[in-house]
Amino acid sequence: MRQCDLRQIASGTLEHYERRAAQFRDGTQDHDVSQNIAALLRHIQGDPPFTILDLGCGPGRDLKTLAALGHVPIGLDGAASFVAMARAETGCEVWLQNFVDLDLPTGRFDGVFANASLFHIPTLALQRALRSLHAALKPGGVLFSSNPRGENQEGWNGERYGVYHDLEGWRRHLTQAGFAELEHYYRPAGLPREQQPWLASVWRAAVNPVVSTDL
């Protein structure tokens, strides 16, 4: 898969969100992801407030929550409509960037909150994105991710591209990028596993990572 193919995949998924930006905002604004936010925050070392990158921030729901908790969240999304909504709704700094072409400052963040976002990155672009996130974290910083789980199948689901990782596959990708697992769990809480479609996991960025070059 060439770089231009990766960008076409990304642009196709983003066009889906652009066409449905208001519908997506209205349909997700009341989703409770407090369990996920708490999982990220309890593993960050040091004294708050924490600087947190909300990767795939959408219309800004979780930016607002993190700011209300006293932290300094910065949003990032590839859909211009979401970026505009998030800026207007939260007053936070929000960056317009494509996940396959991330350009992040080095050592800026205490944590990265990637809620329902990383699964949109094609496998062939995932290592580059994860290593960009690793470099953007302060030493020992924390990455939270939540993805719809599957059996590592990849492709288009309607107008959106996705990769549906299982736990072992996701572990391989994260450890290859220099992260160490802190915890994982399935959502929604309190249901049988077959009714928990989301895999949530928390990772610490190794201070001196030994990463594989086998991509």
Task: Report the b/e string of 50-71 with b at 16+ CB within 10 A.
Answer: bbbbbbbbbbbbbbbbbbeeeb
pLDDT for residue 7? 83
The per-residue pLDDT for range 42-64, each reduced to its tens digit, is: 999 999 999 999 999 999 999 99
pLDDT at position 207, please? 78
Question: Predicted confidence band at 181 (pLDDT cuts at 50, 70, 90)?
Answer: very high
SS percent in the chain: helix, strand, coil, step 5: 40, 30, 30
Task: Specify the pLDDT at position 30.
Answer: 85
Please, are residues 55 and 117 in contact by the beta-carbon 8 Å criterion?
yes
Q: Which residues contact 205 (CB under 8 A, 6 or more apart)?
A: 134, 137, 139, 140, 141, 142, 143, 178, 179
Could you give the CA distance from residue 24 to residue 158 in angstroms, rounded to a whole number? 16
Assess whether pLDDT exceeds 70 at residue 21.
yes
149 CB-near residues (< 8 Å, 6+ apart): 164, 165, 166, 167, 186, 197, 198, 199
Long-range pairs, 70-74, Cβ under 8 A, ≥24: 71/41, 73/113, 74/109
Rounded to an integer, what distance in angstroms lies between the CA atom of residue 59 and that of residue 77? 9
Single-letter residue type at 110: D
Residues 98-139: tens digit of each pLDDT:
999 999 999 999 999 999 999 999 999 999 999 999 999 999
Domains and their CATH numbers in the chain: 3-205 (3.40.50.150)
The predicted model gives 131-153 an average pLDDT of 97
Cβ burial, residue 7 (10 Å; 0-12/13-18/19+) = middle
CA 115 to chain centre: 5
Global pTM reads: 0.92
